[in-house]
Structure 1
Amino acid sequence: MFRRTFWFTTGVAAGVWATTKVNRKLRQLTPESLAATAANKALEAGGRIKDRAVDFALDVRDNMARREAELGDALGLDAPVGRELPASRRHAAIENRNSPKNNPRYAEGSAYPTNPYNRNEDH
């Protein structure tokens, strides 16, 4: 009799355990539960991306400050203030060939031609 009671109790326990496990899995597969799980995963992924973006921005800022300091040293921007600036250049490095100054029709002393049409008046 004890043997039958043992196996009956074991069977009931296994049935309860299996029923509980199946019901839990069915609840996880409902549309609401799947949507909530997807939303939670998305929030976790967004948090990880945000943390990485903040770390990247801080790294960029640190490297930018270091490089600016290197360039400042190389160009002498951090030198004492008493130094004089280099002499200004008289001519542009690249001349505008369309300028009236470069047109041989106009003598050196004459005034540059004026255009009576102002294209900004149309706007």
Structure 2
Amino acid sequence: MRRLFWLTVGAGAGVYVSHRVKRRVVRFTQAWSPEGVAARAVSTGQGAGERLRHFASDVRTEMRAREEELREAVRMDQAPPDAGHAPARRVLRARYTIIDHDDHDHDTTDHDKDGH
């Protein structure tokens, strides 16, 4: 009786495992068939296109905002100077500062220090 029980358990486990392996093999072959690869490529392309559209939209939004900042800076620059006072000077707000720490590649002469 004991042998019959283990024989039945082993046969059941074998059927279950072979069924699971068959399902995985079928999924794998469908995924890597020409149709499966094409379907994945299309869905990936659509997702990339959607991300690209969002990126372009963000770029346009930030571009408009920065352009408005620059226009405001130019309007400030074009304000008429006070009569009889010092000449008008340019007032532009910098958004970014570039710092160059690469001193070993440049010759440091008095000419370079003056910025000419």
Class of the TM-score when normalised by the shorter of the 2 chains: 0.5 to 0.7
Q: 1:55 corresponds to which residue?
A: 58
Unaligned runs of 5+ in 1: 78-123
Q: State which of 20, 34, 38 in structure 2 corresponds to 1:35.
A: 38
Cα drift, residue 36 of structure 1: 1.1
Q: Secondary structure at the match of 2:44?
A: helix
Structure 1 stretches of 4+ moved >4 Å: none
Unaligned runs of 5+ in 2: 81-116
Q: State which of 16, 22, 30 in structure 2 corresponds to 1:19.
A: 22
- Report which structure shows greater RCO (CA 8 Å, sep ≥6): 2
The one-character-per-residue Cα deviations of 1:15-43 (angstroms, maximum 9, x if unpaired) are 00001110111111111111111011011
Return the letter of the residue paired with 2:46.
Answer: L
TM-score (norm 1): 0.60
TM-score (norm 2): 0.63
Q: Does 1:46 align with 2:49?
A: yes
Report the number of matched residues: 77
The one-character-per-residue Cα deviations of 1:28-59 (angstroms, maximum 9, x if unpaired) are 11111111110110111111111111101100
Quick check: which one's helix share is greater? 2
Return the letter of the residue paired with 1:36.
Answer: A
For 1:68 and 1:54, the matched residues in 2 are separated by 21
% identical equivalent positions: 22
Structure whose CA Rg is larger: 1
For 1:39 and 1:19, the matched residues in 2 are separated by 27
Q: 1:9 corresponds to which residue?
A: 12
Cα drift, residue 12 of structure 1: 0.5
Root-mean-square deviation (Å): 1.1
